[in-house]
Chain A
Amino acid sequence: MSQLNTKHLLGIKDLTAEEINLIFETADGFKDVLNRPIKKVPSLRDVTVANVFFENSTRTRLSFELAEKRLSADVINFSSSSSSVKKGETLLDTVNNILSMKVDMIVMRHSSPGAPHFLAKHIDANIINAGDGTHEHPTQALLDSFSIREKLGDVAGRKVVIVGDILHSRVALSNIFALQKLGAEVMVCGPATLLPKHISSLGVKVELDIRKALEWCDVANILRIQLERQKMRYFPSLREYSQHYGVNKQLLDTLNKEIVIMHPGPINRGVEITSDVADSDHSIILQQVENGVAVRMAVLYLLAGKKAG
């Protein structure tokens, strides 16, 4: 396999394991490039990419922009905190306006699940989903699995627990799909109010006790607790969350093994993860960020090739 079967990256759901591995192999090459003195390749010369962000993002947008620039693409950025427009300029209007300026690829983050799928029905440009509401965040899942593969040699057969707010997490959903396609076993762990009622229908294990979850796993991917959720009474207090679901060194020390610690960022230090864990040797949090650029370069490269082909 030398190219993807799809012209968009809307979700992990649409990819085969073979395609994911193609992305990884391509990313291996780009990771080498990123460690050279000259980090730039001409692959996307004359390709214009628009990063269209209807929701706040720092690292994902930066990571995409850097990936695009390393590939020599022309890059424009559009940010609007007011997504979800019904009357007035719609999503389709906004994107069509951008495309009229001869843009080839759209990287979009949007608060509505399925927004990039909706767009894909209406426009010709390649679309990369950079997060659609509580649905998918495919490049995050790709870089997470890529990082596990890098650290442990292989994803297949590994046991991965995703900890925290699964209910509102596109990272969790995309990770579940990617890990399962690559042959890993997946567990979710958190307070029951933060776990979707039907999550086990996706074939994942469900655990409410963090200690048992950590004892089971090889890798723990710890999700950010969004502080504003607390107001919606999903759990009584941050203090209690951190006591019962926070991952700290003391807890890890009681395990009879070493596990890999991951976090998609940004971290709430002292809430879902303590500093002594986040900064420890077990943590690959910064490697995830580094790999993000290489993986996104691979996705951009493969999709742009798809268009040309």
Chain B
Amino acid sequence: MKIGLANATVFDPSSKFHLQTVDILIEDGIIKKIGKGLKGADIDLSGKWVSLGFAELSANFCEPGNEHKEDISSGIEVAVSGGFTDVCVAPDTQPALETKGGIQFVRGKSGKVSLWPIAAVSEELKGENLTEILDLNHNGAVAFSDGVNPIWNTELLLKALQYVQKFEGLIINRPKDVGLSRHAHMHEGAVSTSLGLNGEPSVSEELTIQRDIEILKYAGGRIHFSQISTEKSVDLIKKAKAEGLKVTCDVSINHLLFSDKDLETFDTNYKVDPPLRTSKDRKALIKGLKSGVIDAISTAHQPQDQECKDLEFDLADFGAIGLQTAFAALNSIKDELPLEVSIEKITRGPRTVVGLDQPEIAEGAMAKLAVFDPEEKWTFDKSNNKSKSFNSPFVGKELTGKSLGTINGKITSLEILEHV
């Protein structure tokens, strides 16, 4: 199958075609030719951008167990609508992603979007016994984590870091101290004090990062910190990297845009985990991306249905969906965080962390592309929401910039490209 894109502006800082307007011919999922005035380039993308397909480090697609919130099919549609060609699927489903069958099930659903299962590191995510890590890796698990549950058990963390060294595997932890975060509904600070809500102090995260770094020094291996949220976390990871430790980290888009002040109206769509921190932390996270300390950006896609969100604040569950609005969100902060950085951190960044092949916008490369209209204004509402859930801080907001579709190898999501 042949596809010809015409007059597309390449947005890929690592490509020699960056910011050039070119035609791109794709045949059987491979980029055959890039140039000007190419024959067969019949899809006019004037004013549109073509970037590498976005990659998500950890999205929860809720299947099995909570298919009423999201399932893999709906999750794929959401991902495509956000410009994602690759998604690492979080293990905290019910039951957890911890068997060979579970891993194969997820991988078998790959299509418009390539799915990369992250397997549970502990049985039932309880932090007590290791899962069959070697078998899970053999069947395609790209990393091991307990999802939103922190690996609280230091003995298990140590053994996991040792055990995965056979295949240079990656352990992902959500840095959070169980004791210091118990009963917490937001960041502990001036805002939580004035709202009378129990907060999680920053030290909960920082303590765990310090702990894990010490364990990593002792055990060896590789660790990735998922969704760091504080200024000091950035400093700690910077130091660890300077010492040559194999440490990586990501930040969620929510933490780049919002702060605890956004919770002042008790809007549960801003109730996420880790909690939104202060604006000082937010700025430090942006700086951490620019300086290279933070390796990747995640949307932290975590669907929750109305019954779990439209509630009193302390009863509502954590999480927000984010795949569909990723580009618009990053576009909204481009003055603080240039798109050259943020797009790199959501395309190459996640792939480097989990060790996926790096696509390129180059002749002979596999086509993993996303098409964007950087100018399109749209309002995120129920009519255009692709997720089964609608728990987003962007509900009802006017956004600028929209994904128009993806090309993932041989699969072109043409139904979205049709209206170009």
Interface residues of A (CB under 8 A from B): 13, 84, 86-87, 90-92, 110, 112-115, 117-118, 132-136, 170, 173, 196-199, 201-202
Query: CA separation between A199 and B196, bound complex, in Å?
Result: 11
B314 touches A201 (CB 8 A): no
Q: Are A114 and B195 touching (Cβ within 8 A)? A: yes
Residue B102 at the chain A interface, CB threshold 8 Å = no
Contact A132 B188 (CB under 8 A): no
Name 12 extra pairs, CB < 8 A, besides A91-B312, A113-B195, A115-B312.
Answer: A113-B196, A114-B195, A115-B313, A117-B266, A133-B196, A134-B197, A135-B196, A135-B197, A197-B188, A201-B193, A202-B190, A202-B194
B interface size (C-beta, 8 A): 20
Number of A-B contacts (CB under 8 A): 66
Q: Which residues of B contact A118 (CB under 8 A)?
A: 266, 311-313
Given contacts A114-B266, A197-B201, contact A202 B312 (CB under 8 A): no
Asked if B197 and A113 sit within 8 Å, CB to CB, the answer is yes
Q: How long is the Cα–Cα vector from A117 to B313 in the complex, in angstroms?
A: 10
The answer to whether B189 and A112 have CB atoms under 8 Å apart is no
Contact with A along B174-198 (1 / 0, CB 8 A): 0000000000000011101111111
Q: Say which residue of A112, A197, A198 sits within 8 Å of B312 (CB atoms).
A: A112
In the assembled complex, the CB of B315 is this many whole angstroms from the nearest CB of chain A, namely 5
**Is B196 in contact with A136, judged by CB distance below 8 angstroms?**
yes
User: In the complex, which of the residues B188, B190, B197 contacts A114, with contact meaning CB atoms closer than 8 Å?
Assistant: B197
Over the window 303-317 of chain B, the binary record of Cβ atoms lying under 8 Å from chain A Cβ atoms (1 yes, 0 no) is 000010011111100
A174 to B, closest residue via Cβ? B196
Q: How far is the CA of A91 from the CA of B313 in the complex (A)?
A: 12
Closest 7 CB pairs of A and B: A135-B196, A114-B266, A201-B190, A112-B312, A134-B196, A113-B196, A114-B313
Q: How far is the CA of A90 from the CA of B306 in the complex (A)?
A: 12
What separation, in Å, do the CA atoms of A135 and B189 have in the docked complex?
A: 14
How far, in Å, is B313 (CB) from chain A's closest CB? Answer: 4
Q: In the bound complex, what is the Cα–Cα distance between A87 and B315 (angstroms)?
A: 10
In whole angstroms, what is the CA distance A196 to B195 when docked? 12
> Smallest distance from the beta carbon of B395 to chain A beta carbons, Å?
12
18 example contacts (A-B, Cβ-Cβ < 8 A) are as follows A13-B194, A86-B307, A86-B311, A113-B197, A114-B197, A114-B266, A114-B313, A115-B313, A117-B266, A118-B311, A134-B197, A134-B198, A135-B195, A135-B197, A198-B193, A201-B189, A201-B190, A202-B194
**B residues at A contact (CB < 8 Å):** 188-190, 192-198, 201, 265-266, 307, 310-315
Partner pick for B189 among A133, A134, A198, CB 8 A cutoff: A198
Whether A113 contacts B310 in the complex (CB less than 8 A), given A197-B188, A201-B189, comes out as no
Minimum Cβ distance to chain A for residue B115 (Å): 31
CA distance A144 to B190 in the complex (A): 24
Complex CA distance for A117 and B266, rounded to whole angstroms = 7
B310 / chain A contacts, CB cutoff of 8 Å: 92
Q: Which residue of B lies closest to A92 (CB)?
A: B310
CB proximity of A155 to chain B, nearest CB, Å? 20
Q: Are A113 and B189 touching (Cβ within 8 A)?
A: no
Smallest CB–CB gap between A145 and chain B, Å? 18
Q: Which of A13, A87, A118, A199 has the most CB of B within 10 A?
A: A118
A276 to B299, CA, bound (A): 61
Query: Which A-chain residue is minimally distant from B189 (CB atoms)?
Result: A198
Q: B307 contacts which chain A residues (CB < 8 A)?
A: 86-87
Chain A residue at minimal CB-CB distance from B198:
A134
With A197-B201, A198-B188 as contacts: A114 and B193 at CB distance below 8 Å:
no
B193 touches A199 (CB 8 A): yes
Inter-chain contacts of B198 with A (CB < 8 A) = 134
Point out the residues of chain B lying under 8 angstroms from A90, CB to CB: 311
Q: How far is the CB of B280 from chain A (nearest CB, A)?
A: 13
**A170 adjacent to B196 (CB under 8 Å):** yes
- Contacts of A112 on B, CB cut-off 8 Å? 312-315
B192, A198: Cβ atoms closer than 8 Å = yes
Closest Cβ of chain A to B176, distance in Å, is: 18
Chain B nearest CB, measured from A57 CB (Å): 17
Closest residue of A by beta carbon distance from B190 = A201
- Which residues from chain A contact B201 at a C-beta distance below 8 Å? 197
